[in-house]
Amino acid sequence: APAVFTEAEFYQQNFNPQEYLKEYYSMSSSPEWAREFMMQNLRTLHKMFSLDGVRGDILIDVGCGPTIYQLLSACEHFQEIIALDYTEQNRRELEKWLKREPGAFDWEPVVKYVCELEGDREKWAEKQEKVRKKVKRVLKCDVTKANPTGPVSLPAGDCIVSTLCLEGACKDLPAFRSALRNISTLLKPGGHLVMVTVLGETYYAFNKQVYSCLLLEKHEVQEAVLAAGFELKFFEAQPYTVDDDVTDIKGVIGLVAQKCPSA
Ligand code: SAH
């Protein structure tokens, strides 16, 4: 494990989006465990975005990274998507795919898998276009700031999706708790938070670099979400381990929480 917390600036200096995508999101070149992990998360996202009430106008993706898998089930239920991430090269990589630029990552196998989950594998091209059309803005954010998108102010979202971001961005539990409060300011009262977070992990590595991860227990995540003014609607923890020293992950959580109407 890294001796120090790898903060947002470390991501900005070191994170290589193409290597990240190759390591974790490629149906052809990622290791078996990474593909399994992704498919499990896709199934959980599919389930969570099928829940009643998880819909509306604006969806905000917090810590989107260079990926779109987290938007594939989501895009069916929202009109407009705003994607946020700290790291410039990740936002750029995402835009490359959105604009069909040469060298963009090939998400096709992943899109097909999600379409299959939704009952019609043939809809994959249509879904890709839907995502491309609905993502209207890709902007910088910092979840450790009280106003994560400052100085830009966004329209309040009906939903936030955030996958595998906060546990990397927060150095300790108090920081995790305040990041949840920070991102909750992006949400309308009554809006939903859809989150995928790893459990029991202290580091992950790819491209010969090690990133720190906040070691989280199930009950800590649960309590932090409640303390940030949410009510839990869905909470599913699954064990997950990898027989390799690239990470010490123990499990993964999918959760849906609703921002209290008075919060
Ligand atoms: N959501 C993607 C990417 C996860 S990688 C996925 O599911 O694969 C973690 C992401 O968090 C990186 O893109 C990194 O740039 C971003 N990040 C790290 N610190 C952050 C911060 N303080 N604020 C916002 N994003 C941050």
Domain that holds residue 135: 8-259
Q: Does any domain span residue 188?
A: yes
C-alpha 206/C-alpha 178 separation (Å) is: 28
CA 28 / ligand 1 centre spacing (Å): 24
Q: Does any domain span residue 249?
A: yes
Q: Identify whether the C-beta of residue 62 lies closer than 8 Å to the C-beta of residue 143.
A: yes
Whether 262 has a pLDDT exceeding 90, the answer reads: no
Q: Does any domain span residue 3?
A: no
- Residue 224: burial class (beta carbons within 10 Å; 0-12, 13-18, 19+): buried
pLDDT in tens, 76-128: 999 999 999 999 999 999 999 999 999 999 999 999 999 999 999 999 999 99
Probe residue for ligand 1, chosen from 37, 61, 86, 196 as the CB with the greatest number of ligand atoms within 8 Å: 86
Q: Does any domain span residue 1?
A: no
Count other C-beta atoms under 10 Å from residue 200's C-beta. 17
Whether 20 has a pLDDT exceeding 80, the answer reads: yes
Nearest to 161 by CA among 122, 206, 193, 198: 193
Q: Does any domain span residue 51?
A: yes
State the CATH number of the domain containing residue 28.
3.40.50.150
Residues with beta carbon inside 6 Å of ligand 1? Answer: 8, 11, 15, 63-65, 67, 70, 85-87, 90, 141-144, 163-165, 168-169
- Which residues line the annotated binding site for S-adenosyl-L-methionine? 20, 25, 69, 85, 90, 142-143
C-alpha 199/C-alpha 237 separation (Å) is: 9
Probe residue for ligand 1, chosen from 68, 85, 142, 167 as the CB with the greatest number of ligand atoms within 8 Å: 85
pLDDT in tens, 166-204: 999 999 999 999 999 999 999 999 999 999 999 999 999
Q: Which amino acid is residue 57, in one-letter code?
A: D
Q: Does any domain span residue 85?
A: yes
Per-residue pLDDT, 261: 86
pLDDT in tens, 23-77: 999 999 999 999 999 999 999 999 999 999 999 999 999 999 999 999 999 999 9
How many domains is the chain partitioned into structurally? 1
Share of the chain above pLDDT 90, in %: 97
What is the reported pTM?
A: 0.98
pLDDT in tens, 224-245: 999 999 999 999 999 999 999 9
For atom 26 of ligand 1, the residue with the nearest CA is 86
Q: Identify whether the C-beta of residue 86 lies closer than 8 Å to the C-beta of residue 140.
A: yes
Q: Does any domain span residue 2?
A: no
Please give the number of the atom of ligand 1 that sits closest to the Cα of 17: 13
Q: Does any domain span residue 23?
A: yes
Query: Can you spell out the DSSP letters for the chain?
Result: --SS---HHHHHHH--HHHHHHHHS-TTTS-HHHHHHHHHHHHHHHHHTTSTT--EEEEEEET-TT--GGGTTGGGGEEEEEEEES-HHHHHHHHHHHTT-TT----HHHHHHHHHHTT-GGGHHHHHHHHHHHEEEEEE--TTSSSTTTTS-PPPEEEEEEES-HHHH-SSHHHHHHHHHHHHTTEEEEEEEEEEEEES--EEEETTEEEE-----HHHHHHHHHHTTEEEEEEEEEE---SSTTB---EEEEEEEEE-TT-
